[in-house]
Amino acid sequence: MNKTDKIFGAISKTIGKTGTYFMFVFIFISSLAKLLGPGKNDVNLTFFAWALLFCFILAIADFILDAKALGIFPMRVVIHFVIALADFIAVLCYFSGYASNGKQVVYLSVFFTLVYAICMTVCSLVRSSKLRKENKEKTYKNEFSGTNE
């Protein structure tokens, strides 16, 4: 695979993840707005533009989860969480103007942390089962005797 294919593959992966994240954010926020009732929210097209930027940065941050150079998987998840939380606070709370004071930012950050923990738990379980299945399919090679057992 040449360098151009890798670059276009990374761009394609980022755009795909951005779209997927944005779909879930849009469905969640729209459902929440419907539950609150008419006139109880100030979600508009500008907010969804900020949400799209949030999803794009989150999709770029997902490359950290695949970067084995950063250490073991739990460490990469912590780094990813810190970037995702900073992205959430900066883009969706501060720049969008959705949270008007520090108390709202804290509550929204705790809520984001809970949602992140649930999503990352599911992703980690899927990753673990996938790795377990791949390891079962490999043949064992004894490194000391040089024979397969």
Q: For the chain, 149 residues long, give each residue's pLDDT as a single digit of tens.
A: 788 888 888 899 999 999 999 999 989 888 877 776 666 556 678 888 999 999 999 999 999 988 888 889 999 999 999 999 999 999 988 988 878 788 989 999 999 999 999 999 999 999 999 988 888 877 777 777 766 55
Q: Are 25 and 47 in contact (CB under 8 A)?
A: no
For the entire predicted model, the pTM comes to: 0.81
Residue of 106, 103, 99 lying closest to 85 (CA atoms): 106
What count of residues does the chain have? 149
The three-state DSSP-derived secondary structure of 54-83 is HHHHHHHHCHHHHCHHHCCHHHHHHHHHHH
